[in-house]
Structure formats: C-alpha cells, structure tokens
Amino acid sequence: MAVYQATASAPVNIACIKYWGKRDTKLILPTNSSLSVTLDQDHLRSTTTSRADSSFEKDRLWLNGVEEEIKEGGRLATCIRELKRLRKEVEEKDSSLPKLSSYAVHISSRNNFPTAAGLASSASGFAALVASLAALYQLPASPSQLSLIARQGSGSACRSLFGGFVAWEMGSKSDGSDSLAVEIAPREHWPDIHALICVVSDDKKGTSSTSGMQRTVETSTLLQHRIKYVVPERMKAISAAIRARDFEAFARITMQDSNQFHAVALDTDPPIFYMNDVSRAIIALIVEYNRVSVAAGGKLKAAYTYDAGPNAVIYAPKENLKEIVELILNYFPQAEPFKDPFGLFGAGAQGKLVEGFNAAVAKPFGVGAVKNLIHTRVGDGPRVLAPEEALLGPDGLPKA
C-alpha cells in the first residue's frame, strides 16, 4: 500500500513593520501592510508531517505530541479545507492521480521552542502546516499562493512562506485574493543581518494578538492615523533600505514602528501593555549603545523590536553581535552559559560595556530577568524534509 506523507519545516518571522488590526476577522485581512525578517530555522522552527489515508476517519492534529481539536470553521479547519480544494483542482485535471483530497489527514507538528510565548509559534506553525500539506498534495502553487492560505491560519504566518525580507501586502479586495506575502529580498541579499532574541518571559501571555488587535481596531483613534499616514510611507522606506542594505535607515524605521505598535496598544481602551520593566531597560541599553556610536561619528548599530509580549528581538549587522551580547550580559546575568552558535566567544561570554557607555541608563537585573538569549540570523523559507524526519509513525500516530 502506498503511503502518502510529507514533512516540512518552516521558520519564525519577526516584523519590523507590525501587523496590528484586521478589516476582516474571518478571512484575516489586515488594516495595514507589514514587513518582516525571516529567522534561521536551523535555530527556531516548526516541523510538520501530514499524511493522507483512506482508512483515516477524520482530520486530526497533534501539536508537540498532544492532540488539538480541529474546530469546525476554525483556523486549522480552514487551512486544511483550502489545501484539499487546491488538491481537488489538480486531481480534476489529471484523473490518474490518487484522490487524496477525499481522504482525511493526520498531522503531527513540533516546535523546537516554547509555543504561544510571543516567539511567533503561530507563524512558523501555520507556515509548516501549509508547506507540509502542499508537499503531500504536490500542489503546483507558489509561496505567494500558499501564503493566502497560511494567512487564514494566523496573519503573520503568511510571511513565513518566504525566507529573507518579506512584505505582506494588505490588498484591497474583499475576498482577500490580493492579501499575500511577497519577497522583498532573499536572505542571500543581506545575510549579514543577525538577531538576538532576549526571552524575557516564556509564560503564556495575557492578551492574545488576536483579541488585542481587535480591541485596538474598535477603540484606538491613533491606529487610524497609523494606518492612513504612517505605515504606507514606512513600507516604502524600509523596502528601499533593505534593497540598499542601509542598516541605519532599517534600524530607525524598525524601532519607530515597534514604538508605534506599543503606542496603539496603549491607546486601546482598556489599555494593553505588552512590554515590562525588563523590555524597557533593553530599549534604554540599545538607545545608549547607538548614542555612543553616533557621538563618535558612527551610525546606528542595533535595532530593537517587540511583538505582543515582553521579549526583545535585537537586529544588528553580524559584526556588532559580540558587543551586543556583552552589553545584555552586563545587565542580565544568565543561569546558563551563552550558547554561541557563531563562535563569537572563544573562552565564554562575559558582560562588558563599550567605551563611553553611560552605565546608569539602566539598573542591573538578577538572574532570570532575561531567561534565555538566542543568537540567530536571517534565514530561508520552508523546507521539505526527507522521509526519515517524519513525525508520524507507521500507524499514522505521532512518534513518541
């Protein structure tokens, strides 16, 4: 008996221009375009195996080994239905193909990092789901076409269908057919962009992105200004900065947009706070680090950005990462030695400040304030993996 199964992995992405607000909550159509950097899935990834079999009774999905309910009309069900629909179109054109679109699927997925901790697991998760089903069904679909489906799982997931630097164009059609991800530049264009993720909290967060952004749409007048006047200009300017590999402009826009996203969260009624004292201290450190550079006639050397949670993501050219890790370690001692995937530190990383840094901009914190540091970089898009990587056993259930 033939086994119809495929495994894919997909990366996380962290936005520089934030998506925050929907004009259609069912189709997940945004109120503004957004732009992100795809992070290297060698470090952070979701891996998903999908199998279609005529003996399966219903569609089932396991996340990190635990079965999740596929609610009728819910986001998972929508993505699976849309991919089956595309498969059916392929089968109608070629009657020799097995009728996989009529079989139920079993799906097993794992994230190699904490789920729902503000590390964009929904983005990599839905991108991996779509990529694995597209591989199973052998769909002749481009990443942009697949992004239309991933978008209906979680908006930010549409951007994880590409590597490198990715825009989600908001589109204007009411059916959502033009609200999709496009590549601004592949990672090879600017491989020098690295990221340091400061995991401030790996707990489940208070206000989910989905409910938070809807409250913002309903109550924030500042959001209307952002949508109309700010984001369109920033999308153009940051795309140009990426094409020109202009880190100074990229950093300035990234920090401004993170600040404005948190400002519209604060402008929501009741207000939403995603950053905490640790997040704000990290902002102060990056601002001071940049000030020292500019005062010496140099340029901005790092950019912070925060999603719907307290974790910081610091983007910087690779050459600055050693100084940035030392800066963070100086204020945020770690329980475990810094994991150094790029070999920046021979004898182990220690806290240290650059010459001229005003140490008083933040107070030192205790062990655990920043729980973990993850050094990664811009990465590639979804990968189809070898059969040995499958997360489903021969019985069609998750492997232990």
Among 169, 267, 288, 307, binds ligand DP6 (CB under 6 A): 307
Size of the site for ligand ATP (CB under 6 A): 22
Among 306, 315, 381, which residue's Cα sits nearest to residue 20? 306
Binding to ligand ATP by residue 208, rule CB under 6 A? Answer: yes
CB of 125 or CB of 379, closer to ligand ATP: 125
Which part of the chain contacts ligand ATP (CB under 6 A), choosing from 31-39, 121-129, 312-320, 333-341? 121-129
> Smallest distance, Å, CB 209 to ligand DP6?
4
Cβ-contact 175, 159 below 8 angstroms:
no
Among 35, 83, 117, 217, binds ligand ATP (CB under 6 A): 117
Cβ-contact 329, 338 below 8 angstroms:
yes
Q: Write the DSSP assignment of 140-161 as a string of letters.
A: ---HHHHHHHHTTT-GGGGGGG
CB of 120 or CB of 391, closer to ligand DP6: 120
- Contacts with ligand ATP in 90-109 (CB under 6 A)? 109
Choose among ligand DP6, ligand ATP, none what residue 219 binds, the Cβ cut-off being 5 to 8 Å by kind: none
Q: Classify strands 312-317 and 303-305 as parallel, antiparallel or unpaired.
A: antiparallel
Size of the site for ligand DP6 (CB under 6 A): 14
Rounded Cα distance between 13 and 41, Å, is 10
Structure-token pair, residue 276? 């905490």
Cβ-contact 389, 7 below 8 angstroms:
yes
CB of 75 or CB of 301, closer to ligand ATP: 75
- Contacts with ligand DP6 in 17-36 (CB under 6 A)? 18-20, 28, 34
Residue whose entry in the numeric block shows the structure tokens 């595309």: 86
Choose among ligand DP6, ligand ATP, none what residue 310 binds, the Cβ cut-off being 5 to 8 Å by kind: none
Binding to ligand ATP by residue 310, rule CB under 6 A? Answer: no
- Contacts with ligand ATP in 123-152 (CB under 6 A)? 123, 125-126, 128-129
> Smallest distance, Å, CB 306 to ligand DP6?
8
The dihedral sign for the CA sequence 224, 172, 189, 140: positive
> Smallest distance, Å, CB 8 to ligand ATP?
11
Rounded Cα distance between 195 and 197, Å, is 6
CB of 11 or CB of 326, closer to ligand ATP: 11
Q: Is the peptide bond before 30 cis (omega within 30 degrees of 0)?
A: no
Residue nearest to ligand ATP (CB): 125
Residue 271 CA, chain-centre distance (Å), reads 24
Which part of the chain contacts ligand ATP (CB under 6 A), choosing from 20-28, 110-118, 364-372, 380-388? 110-118
Q: Could you give the angle at the alpha carbon of 224 between the alpha carbons of 218 and 229, nearest 5°?
A: 165
Q: Which residues contact 298 (CB under 8 A, 6 or more apart)?
A: none
Binding to ligand ATP by residue 111, rule CB under 6 A? Answer: yes
Among 291, 281, 320, 300, which residue's Cα sits nearest to residue 196? 320
Binding to ligand DP6 by residue 128, rule CB under 6 A? Answer: no
> Smallest distance, Å, CB 305 to ligand ATP?
11
Among 223, 344, 198, 214, which residue's Cα sits nearest to residue 276? 198
Rounded Cα distance between 147 and 38, Å, is 14
7 φ/ψ angles, rounded to the nearest 5 degrees: -125, 135
Binding to ligand ATP by residue 156, rule CB under 6 A? Answer: yes
Binding to ligand ATP by residue 120, rule CB under 6 A? Answer: yes
Binding to ligand DP6 by residue 160, rule CB under 6 A? Answer: no
Interacting residues with ligand ATP (CB under 6 A):
46, 63, 109, 111, 115-123, 125-126, 128-129, 156, 208-209, 307-308
